[in-house]
């Protein structure tokens, strides 16, 4: 039986029910995608609420997920009604302009903003962020825009807009990933297996295995290309009570940066009870960031090899031998040597692996 919960001030997308059934029955997104002509694009749209469940889609959902065609059509109708009520509450509270200041994917509307158009743009933002009120948006995302007071400032910086869109896209992509129940202890147990993957040269080879290892411990690994002005490298967040997300941007597209960022986000999940962290060039360096940095450094250079590492010279053969002996790619060793000011930022960079998006993108399919 598929249950639907609702409250007067909340709405739940039909995609939430789709995802719940997929998770419960172990149905992969690709299995669902096979039912639709638009494949994965259709699944994404159903999950994020941008696609409406019509009679044809309802029949296909019933075939794979269960329930009846009528259930799925009613689910869509109830959602549409709940969103319409949320939009009306926003209008009555005179918060339309506030909601319209939120970023939204796609092309920004131009021309005169009629009443109908304004309502549609409000609806689009509420559905995209899956929030019914200004207060709920502030609670879930407000702290991520620094000291900005959402209620008193109707604009965010372009970098904040880009970061929020990147983070939300990551959350939506995590809906496509089936995971076991989040277990930080099991994640620690897999660190060595994760670490060994740094030696694999191509993203198309190591990313699927990395996703699998993390999914087994309740972590959805998602890669989203950063939009213009987004300076984030990685993020860690609980997307459900029993599911964590690590979001990666491949921002610098080098192995030392990718793996350090990954271990940094794993550190946040293990050390900091999976509170939300978005990390990039502008992230303030507080105690938790220092702890996550230290965790990442120890994942790359084991503590029992630290003194040997500190004696390394800017010598190709020495770095290669040491990297092989500790089981990581040499680029990671070079990155740590540069980070700890043992060598200049221009030294030994040829030992790092660098990837183009043409190499990364096939690994994301």
pLDDT of 213-248, one tens digit each?
999 999 999 999 988 888 889 999 999 889 999 999
61 belongs to a structural domain? yes
pTM above 0.75, yes or no: yes
339 belongs to a structural domain? yes
Q: How many CB atoms lie within 10 A of CB 125?
A: 19
221 SS3 class: strand
pLDDT at 325: 96
185 and 333: one domain? Answer: yes
318 and 243: one domain? Answer: yes
Low-confidence ranges of the chain (pLDDT < 70): 1-9, 107, 109-111, 145-158, 274, 282, 365
pLDDT at 228: 86
* Residue ranges making up the domain that contains 216: 178-364
172 belongs to a structural domain? no
353 and 218: one domain? Answer: yes
147 and 284: one domain? Answer: no
182 and 324: one domain? Answer: yes
pLDDT at 105: 83
Number of domains present in the structure of the chain: 2
121 and 187: one domain? Answer: no
Q: How many CB atoms lie within 10 A of CB 36?
A: 18
137 belongs to a structural domain? yes
* Terminal-residue alpha carbon distance, the chain: 31
97 and 218: one domain? Answer: no
161 belongs to a structural domain? no
119 and 257: one domain? Answer: no
182 and 152: one domain? Answer: no
Which secondary-structure segment (H or E) carries 223? strand 219-223
270 belongs to a structural domain? yes
281 belongs to a structural domain? yes
145 and 230: one domain? Answer: no
Q: How many CB atoms lie within 10 A of CB 364?
A: 17
145 belongs to a structural domain? yes
Task: Mark which of 126, 156, 186 sits at the end of a domain.
Answer: 156
CA-based max dimension of the chain: 70
What is the per-residue pLDDT across 264-300, written as a single tens digit (0 to 9) for each? Answer: 999 999 998 767 778 777 677 788 889 999 999 999 9
């Amino acid at each position: 039986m598929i249950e639907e919960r609702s409250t007067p001030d909340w709405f739940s997308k039909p995609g939430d029910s789709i995802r719940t059934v997929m998770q419960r029955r172990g149905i992969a997104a690709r299995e669902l995608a096979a039912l639709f002509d638009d494949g994965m694009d259709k699944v994404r749209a159903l999950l994020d609420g941008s696609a409406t469940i019509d009679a044809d889609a309802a029949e296909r959902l019933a075939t794979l997920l269960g329930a009846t065609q009528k259930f799925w059509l009613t689910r869509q109708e109830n959602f549409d009604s709940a969103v319409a009520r949320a939009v009306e509450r926003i209008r009555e509270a005179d918060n339309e302009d506030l909601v319209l200041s939120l970023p939204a994917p796609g092309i920004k509307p131009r021309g005169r903003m009629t009443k109908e158009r304004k309502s549609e743009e409000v609806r689009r933002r509420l559905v995209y962020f899956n929030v019914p009120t200004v207060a709920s948006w502030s609670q879930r995302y407000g702290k991520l825009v620094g000291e900005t007071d959402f209620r008193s400032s109707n604009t965010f910086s372009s970098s904040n807009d880009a970061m929020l869109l990147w983070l939300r896209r990551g959350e939506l992509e995590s809906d496509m990933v089936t995971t076991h129940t989040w277990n930080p202890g099991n994640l620690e147990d897999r660190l060595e297996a994760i670490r060994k993957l740094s030696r694999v040269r191509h993203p198309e080879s190591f990313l699927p295995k990395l996703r699998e290892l993390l999914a087994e411990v309740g972590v959805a690994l998602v890669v989203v290309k950063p939009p213009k002005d987004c300076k984030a490298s990685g993020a860690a967040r609980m997307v459900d009570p029993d599911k964590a997300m690590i979001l990666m941007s491949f921002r610098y597209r080098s192995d030392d940066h990718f793996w350090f960022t990954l271990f940094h986000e794993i550190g946040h999940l293990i050390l900091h009870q999976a509170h939300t962290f978005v990390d990039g060039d502008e992230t303030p360096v507080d105690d938790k960031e220092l702890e996550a940095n230290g965790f990442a450094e120890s994942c790359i250079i084991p503590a029992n090899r630290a003194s040997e590492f500190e004696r390394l010279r800017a010598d190709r053969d020495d770095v290669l031998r040491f990297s092989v002996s500790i089981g990581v790619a040499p680029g990671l060793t070079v990155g740590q040597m540069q980070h700890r000011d043992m060598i200049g930022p221009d030294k030994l960079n040829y030992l790092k692996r660098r990837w183009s998006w043409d190499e990364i993108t096939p690994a994301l399919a």
